Amino acid sequence: MSYDIFYELNGKSLVTVKKILNWAKSNAFKTEVHMRVMGRLAREKADKSYDKVFRLITKEQITFFIIVLRKNLNWFPSLSKEAKKDDVLEIFIRGMDVEDKEYFLIMFLDKEKLIELKKMYQLRPIV
């Protein structure tokens, strides 16, 4: 059985997190912008664009920055119209709050992009 592998960024700063998010967006095969409205359980498509949510990120949100290699992720129905399982790199940040809404940025990348990311930044797996 395979388990997801979470990575922590050494020397996490607002500038570094934003650089990684920009890199991820430009290399992602899918980018999602979601929101959760207070009082509702499910996330839904955001009422703001990626760029508008990106500008809301401050040093407070970097604690909600996640890099994870999803093992055997089922692509159906969110990433593909057909059933498929594969490893996928997910880069995610949440915690951008505006009034009663919390915003999320999620990028999905080919698993090979993790090698490239590790060459640019010091990442360590969280055990």
For the stretch 89-119, pLDDT in tens is 999 999 889 999 999 999 999 999 999 999 9
Nearest-angstrom CA–CA distance, 12 and 34: 24
Q: Residue 33 is inside which H or E element, if any?
A: strand 30-37
Mean pLDDT of the chain: 90
Model pLDDT, residue 41: 79
Q: What is the pTM of this model?
A: 0.88
Cis omega (within 30 of 0) on the bond before 77? yes
* Interval 25-79: pLDDT, tens: 999 999 999 999 988 878 889 999 999 999 999 999 999 999 999 988 776 556 5
Cβ atoms of 64 and 93 closer than 8 Å: yes
Please give the span between the terminal C-alpha atoms of the chain, in angstroms, as a whole number: 16
Model pLDDT, residue 76: 53
Model pLDDT, residue 127: 75
DSSP assigned state of 17: H
Model pLDDT, residue 39: 81
Model pLDDT, residue 42: 84
Residue by residue, DSSP assigns the chain as ----EEEEETT--HHHHHHHHHHHHHH-SEEEEEEEETT--S-EE-SS-HHHHHTT--GGGGGGEEEEEEEEEE-TTTT-SS--EEEEEEEEEEEEEETTEEEEEEEEEETTHHHHHHHHS-EEE--
